[in-house]
């Protein structure tokens, strides 16, 4: 009898130890908490290389028009990385290097999507300004308005937009060297209508009131770190991130900044949950808030990144609008945005 009791006590001790270990493990893997933001900011991105917006004619002194870049196979959307081994970082640098090389063949390395390419280009002497040119319109930076979705109160890391900034005609995230988010104010709203997406019109100064640094541009949004003591949406406390299985069809809310710098809560409905686990269109949402409908017509450009909240948890972010029905759009799940 005593022997059996000892066995039972031993088993009880083992079970208790296991439960304590399990509780410690579960406690360590507690739900992540983030501060939902919904603030519209100015976004500036420094690109890797210079992007070809379009090819152009170069009118020379002989009266003829030349298209050096186009003839060499360069086309809009290509990213020029090096010329004669020199890394391209700005439009001005490219123009100066091409002019310095004159009639010498230029060895150009460029990227088209994921494919690396190389070609030789012979610049033409322009009769307009006496400079050698290869006939391209290029850009070395991108800027616009977007919405910050969340920030981590411990690490100060933030996420914005809920979708990537892509290259022209390419469904790939634009490669960047870095960037900034800056304080902005919404000055007007172009209301959306069927077949015509609306837009938030905002202003920001690129050399003032920096809020944070952009570190990456991915297909699920911009990611970076807030500067110093910056805290966006200061009145909002951190809330748990919802597991995807917790998200249901039905009532929810979004946080958006559609006037000056004021963040407001608006009612929406999650109408459908899509099965594609890796899509930025993971759920279909419908704006039901009459105030938002009256002011914007529904979802407009610039609202991408507006956090979606359901049952007190951060569910995801607004990403796209239906062109033929601005009251409806898509949202990305937060677990995908955090990857």
**Of 78, 140, 180, 289, which residue is the catalytic one?**
289
Under 8 Å between Cβ of 276 and 7:
no
Q: How far is CA 195 from CA 188, 246, 280, in A?
A: 20, 34, 22
What is the maximum span of the chain, computed from C-alpha positions, in angstroms?
A: 113
Assess whether 62 carries a catalytic annotation: no
**Of 163, 180, 286, 306, which residue is the catalytic one?**
163
Assess whether 126 carries a catalytic annotation: no
* Backbone angle region of 271, left / alpha / beta, with phi > 0 → left and psi within -120 to 50 → alpha: alpha
**Of 126, 180, 304, 306, which residue is the catalytic one?**
304
- Residue 32 per-residue DSSP state: P
Task: For residue 101, give both structure tokens.
Answer: 């090389």
User: Which of 302, 22, 338 is CA-nearest to residue 187?
Assistant: 302
**Dihedral angle of Cα 266, 272, 277, 280, to the nearest 10 degrees:** -40
Instruction: Tell me the catalytic residues.
Output: 163, 289, 304
């Amino acid at each position: 009898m005593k022997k059996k009791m000892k066995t039972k006590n031993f088993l009880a001790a083992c079970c208790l130890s296991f439960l304590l270990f399990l509780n410690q493990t579960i406690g360590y893997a507690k739900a992540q908490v983030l501060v939902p933001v919904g603030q519209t900011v100015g976004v500036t991105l420094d690109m890797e290389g210079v992007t070809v917006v379009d090819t152009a004619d170069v009118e020379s002194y002989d009266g003829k028009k030349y298209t050096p870049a186009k003839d060499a196979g360069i086309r809009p959307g290509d990213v020029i990385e090096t010329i004669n081994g020199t890394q391209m970082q700005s439009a001005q640098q490219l123009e100066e290097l091409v002019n310095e090389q004159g009639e010498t063949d230029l060895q150009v390395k460029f990227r088209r999507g994921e494919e690396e390419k190389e070609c030789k280009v012979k610049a033409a002497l322009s009769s307009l300004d006496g400079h050698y040119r290869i006939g391209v319109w290029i850009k070395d930076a991108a800027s616009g308005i977007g919405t910050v979705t969340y920030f981590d109160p411990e690490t100060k890391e933030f996420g914005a937009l809920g979708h990537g900034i892509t290259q022209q005609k390419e469904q790939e995230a634009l490669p960047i060297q870095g960037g900034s988010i800056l304080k902005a104010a919404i000055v007007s709203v172009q209301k959306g209508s069927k077949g015509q997406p609306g837009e938030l019109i905002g202003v920001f100064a690129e050399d003032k009131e920096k809020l944070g640094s952009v570190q990456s541009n991915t297909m699920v949004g911009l990611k970076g770190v807030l500067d110093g003591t910056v805290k966006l949406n200061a009145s909002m406390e951190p809330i748990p991130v919802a597991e995807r299985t917790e998200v249901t069809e039905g009532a929810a809310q979004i946080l958006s900044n559609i006037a000056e710098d004021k963040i407001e809560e608006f009612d929406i409905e999650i109408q459908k949950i899509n099965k594609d686990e890796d899509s930025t269109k993971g759920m279909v949402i419908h704006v039901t808030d009459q105030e938002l409908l009256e002011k914007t017509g529904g979802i407009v450009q610039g609202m991408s990144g507006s956090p979606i909240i359901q049952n007190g948890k951060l569910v995801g972010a607004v990403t796209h609008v239906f062109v033929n029905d601005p009251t409806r759009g898509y949202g990305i799940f937060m677990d995908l945005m955090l990857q």
